[in-house]
Amino acid sequence: MTGTNRAIEIVPVIMSGGSGTRLWPLSTDVRPKQFHALASPRTMLQETALRLAGPAHAEDGAPSFLPPVIICNRSHERVIETQLAEVGVQPLAVVLEPFGRNTAAVAVTAARMVQTLKPGALVLLLPADHVIADPEAFHAAIARAAHTPDRIVTFGIAPTGPETGFGYIQRAEALADGVFGVARFAEKPRLEVARAYLAEGGYYWNGGIFLFAPEVMLAEMATHRPDIHASGLEAVDAAGRDGLFVRLDDGRFIAIPSESVDVAVMERTRLAAVAPCDIGWADVGSWSELWRLGGKDGDHNLIRGDAVALDTQGSLVWSDDGMEVGVVGLRDVVVVATPGAVIVLPRDRAQEVKTIVERLRARRC
């Protein structure tokens, strides 16, 4: 417990490195998911940044958010700058990775950046492409997590069903109000196992959101993966600074072993903690999930853009960038059209988008 007079300061470090194909053809390497307005009129990056502006919680002594640090691929320099400017967010820094190097490298980068730029502040490390429908509950969870700054706190998402697509965290003893030790991190389970977790209770989805003091993360990384710690610090300390932009050097960055922060640190450290929360979280990992989350019309259709659906029910019809889309007589399908590509498939087979992308890429080779 900190219990000081000085309010805790938190720097959100937004990981914008994803380039998933699960929402193809909207999400592409050039413009991945976080740069699209999927669940609201603002892009997911914009929503993530705005959600973490101002005080974290409306109580006395609640932590306050400093401007964010963004960690992204260097090809997205302009879109980051534009999208943050559109919503009036001025970041502390934008760290440009030459390529993706997994989240352990990101955790070291985040810790070192905040340690340097805002000594004494905590790091809230989180993905740019998640929906959090209840930001107040999220703020409250952050305020609780900030009570254990000697720990690396992961946010445990209250499960709404026996999902098999996420890792689970089992909580242990209480450490503070709403913060628990971690009994174990469990891999993505089979369905029966997931059901057993829910029946037993005390299990949460691992949403990949972390709160920690930079020194704690760096010390634990040094203990458990000294190679990542050393090469990560070297890459960050040698990076060129250009106004807001911090450019990581190719050669030094590739020297960092590629590992997830979960495997490198969380599954090994004795300082892991979990802050359970029920925040309307969703990772929007498929078109079917987007349909589930979104506002639907009387026919249970989610229609976006310049699209018309006749005698169609339970479907997502998504027109991007002025594409005219007409759908007749279909049930429970996903139709997504951009000026370069189209996908059509049953809603319950939305995960097969990846297969389609692979097949189309193979044709082009």
Residues near a copy of itself (CB under 8 A): 25, 306, 308, 310, 322-330, 333, 335, 337, 339-346, 349, 352-353, 355-357, 359-360, 363
**CB 286 to a copy of itself: min, Å:** 13
Q: Of 207, 167, 169, 204, which Cα lies nearest the Cα of 187?
A: 167
Which of 28/231 has CB closer to a copy of itself? 28
Which of 55/339 has CB closer to a copy of itself? 339
Which of 237/321 has CB closer to a copy of itself? 321
Which of 25/91 has CB closer to a copy of itself? 25
**CB 110 to a copy of itself: min, Å:** 36
Q: Of 202, 206, 208, 209, which Cα lies nearest the Cα of 172?
A: 202
Which of 193/356 has CB closer to a copy of itself? 356
Phi/psi class of residue 284: alpha, beta or left (left: φ > 0; alpha: ψ in -120 to 50)?
Answer: left
Which of 191/308 has CB closer to a copy of itself? 308
Residue 205's identity, in one-letter code, is: W
**CB 27 to a copy of itself: min, Å:** 14
Q: What is the helix (H) or strand (E) element at residue 64, kind and residue range?
A: strand 64-65
**CB 313 to a copy of itself: min, Å:** 14
**CB 99 to a copy of itself: min, Å:** 24
Q: Of 67, 96, 77, 92, which Cα lies nearest the Cα of 236?
A: 96
**CB 298 to a copy of itself: min, Å:** 17
Which of 67/305 has CB closer to a copy of itself? 305
* Cβ 20 vs Cβ 32: under 8 Å: yes
Q: What is the DSSP letter of 313?
A: B
**CB 320 to a copy of itself: min, Å:** 11
Kindly state the tokens that stand for 178: 């709403």
Q: Is 17 exposed, middle or buried (0-12, 13-18, 19+ CB in 10 A)?
A: buried
What DSSP string describes 177-244?
TTEEEEEEEEPSPPHHHHHHHHHH--EEEEEEEEEE-HHHHHHHHHHH-HHHHHHHHHHHHT-EEETT
How far apart CA 181 and CA 272 sit, in angstroms, is 6
Q: How far is CA 332 from CA 27, 129, 299, 335, 348, in A?
A: 21, 25, 10, 10, 8
* Cβ 203 vs Cβ 158: under 8 Å: no
Which of 3/322 has CB closer to a copy of itself? 322
How far apart CA 253 and CA 231 sit, in angstroms, is 8
**CB 347 to a copy of itself: min, Å:** 10
**CB 357 to a copy of itself: min, Å:** 7
Q: How far is CA 124 from CA 48, 66, 181, 200, 235, in A?
A: 12, 10, 18, 30, 21
Which of 165/340 has CB closer to a copy of itself? 340
